[in-house]
Amino acid sequence: MSTLTLYNYELDDSSYRVRLLLSMLGLDYETFAVDMVPGNEQNSPTMLAMNPLGSLPILKDGDLIFYGTEAILAYLARAYDASGTWLPGDAAIFGSVMQWLNFSASALPAAIEARKVALFGLPGDLDSLKASARRAFRIMDDHMTLRQIDGMEWFAGTGPTIADVTVFPIFALSRDFGIDHDEFPALRRWIRRFRTIKGFKTMPGIPDYH
């Protein structure tokens, strides 16, 4: 089997998303530490040769190189989960999973940037980013409220999928930029359940509600 290598910054929520799935899949992998803050090493010539967008994480699997968190999650689920648990083949569930992967890539970047501004002092309009993040989290909370009314505990399907993995850290770490999780009770309940998944690993800033 090829050696998996994750190019990673420990406090980056996108890198954490991939570490979560690797752990939940029980996969062995190596990490290559990238000095994102303050070094901006993801934009070095060596890193740009692997990912011209200058973002993290990057995954190498043998001769294959993947960038874009959602693409990496989908690849790992398809390549290393023979059971189809994390990326189900059922058309309706697959479509729902892909919908939330798209949501994380299109609606949640503001939340990711807000955390970078608040936590790392990077430039950006924190108030505007925070407002955009809150709107996205409201969509998520409304979705999970309806799911929970129907007796469903996960974003797509009857069990956890990469739909849950891709949105979990972005919301869970949002207290770093001043989001009050009490505003989103359905997401709080979902976080508690997410933490019980076999292979779950935490990182600084992830809440542990009691």
- Tens-digit pLDDT profile for residues 170-198: 999 999 999 999 999 999 999 999 999 99
User: What is the rounded distance in angstroms from the CA atom of residue 157 to the CA atom of residue 90?
Assistant: 9
pTM of the model: 0.95
User: What is the rounded distance in angstroms from the CA atom of residue 172 to the CA atom of residue 193?
Assistant: 12
User: What is the rounded distance in angstroms from the CA atom of residue 98 to the CA atom of residue 86?
Assistant: 12
Evaluate if residue 1 carries a pLDDT over 60. no
Q: What is the mean pLDDT of residues 1-8?
A: 86
| DSSP result, 197-209 | STT----TT----
Average pLDDT, the chain: 96
Question: For residue 210, what pLDDT band results from cuts at 50, 70 and 90?
Answer: low
Q: What is the mean pLDDT of residues 5-24?
A: 97
Residue 205 pLDDT: 94
Residue 95: C-alpha distances to residues 81, 98, 160 (Å): 18, 5, 15
Question: For residue 23, what pLDDT band results from cuts at 50, 70 and 90?
Answer: very high
Nearest to 199 by CA among 20, 4, 5, 17: 20
Q: What is the mean pLDDT of residues 142-160?
A: 97
Q: What is the mean pLDDT of residues 84-91?
A: 96
Helix (H, G, I), strand (E, B) or coil at 109: helix
Q: What is the mean pLDDT of residues 162-177?
A: 98
Domains in the chain, start-ordered, CATH in brackets?
4-80 (3.40.30.10), 91-194 (1.20.1050.10)
Q: What is the mean pLDDT of residues 85-100?
A: 97
Q: What is the mean pLDDT of residues 160-164?
A: 98
